[in-house]
Amino acid sequence: MLHARSDRLDALRGAAIVWMAAYHFCFDLNHFGWIRQDFYRDPVWTWQRTCIVSLFLFCAGGGQALAVAAGQRAGRFWRRWAQVAGCALLVTLSSRVMFPDSWISFGVLHGIAVMLVLLRLGLARLPDAALLALAAAAIALPRFVQHPWFDSRWTDWVGLVTHKPVTEDYVPLLPWIGLMLLGFVVTRRWPRLWQGPAPAPLAVLGRWSLSFYMVHQPVLIGALMAVQFVR
C-alpha cells in the first residue's frame, strides 16, 4: 500500500529548501549592500530561481499523487491547504511592509494554493496522457499568448502578462502548473521512484518545508541586521 509521504520525495523537497535558503541569503546580502548582483536580470540568479521553484512544484505534484493514491481524506487536504493559503496571506502582508513598491501579490505559496485546488478537485481524475498534454500547453502558452488585460494585480496570477510585474516573487498559474502536473504524473505512473531510503536530515527538512519557508527569511534578515548594527 502506498503511503501519503515518501522520504525520498521529502528529501528532494529538503534539497530545494537548502538551495532556496542559500539563494535568499545571497539576495539578502545584496539587499543590504554587502554584495552587488542583479537578481532580476542576471541568468546566474534567474535560472537558479527557476530551478528552485520548479523543484518545489514538482514535489508538490508528487506529494498530491501519493496522497490521492493513499486515499487521503478531504479534511486533511483542506487543513493543509488552509495552512498554505494562510501563509501566502502572511507573505503578502509582510512584503507590503518590507517592499512597498514590489510587494508580493501572487508568489510561490499563492500559486501552490491555487494549483492544489485545481489538481485535487478535478485534474487528478484525468489520465496521464491528458495531464501531460495540459502540462505542455501550460508551459508553452505564455510564450505565444499575452494580453494587457492580464497585467493588473487582479489578473496577473493567470500568467498571460505582456511584461513581468514589479514584485519580489511571481509564480503565476501559467506556466508553473505544468511543473506540478509533471510531478503528479511521474509519481502516479512510477511510484517506486520514491520508495527506499533517503538522507534523513533532508527528509526531515522536507517534511517541515512550509514552516522553514516562513521562518528562514525573518531569521536571515534579522541576523544580517544584527551584524550590520554591531559593525
Q: For 21-62, what is each residue's pLDDT tens digit?
A: 999 999 999 998 999 999 999 999 999 999 999 999 999 999
The domain limits of the chain are 7-230
Contact between 175 and 142 under an 8 Å Cβ cutoff? The reply is yes
Residue 2 confidence (pLDDT):
55
DSSP state letter for 124: G
Distance between CA 160 and CA 153 in Å, rounded?
12
Three cell numbers at 50?
527557476
The pLDDT of residue 228: 82
Q: What's the mean pLDDT when you consider all of the chain?
A: 94
Q: Which of these ranges, 48-52, 72-76, 89-93, 128-132, has the smallest mean pLDDT?
A: 72-76
Q: Please check the confidence at residue 76 and state whether its pLDDT lies above 70.
A: yes
Name the phi and psi angles at 140, rounded to 5.
-85, -35
Q: Looking at residues 164-172, what average pLDDT do you find?
A: 94
- Under DSSP, the state recorded for 156 is T
Q: Taking each helix axis as running N to C, give the angle between helix 200-207 and helix 7-31, from 0 to 180 degrees, rounded to the nearest 10.
A: 80
CA distance 100 to 115: 27
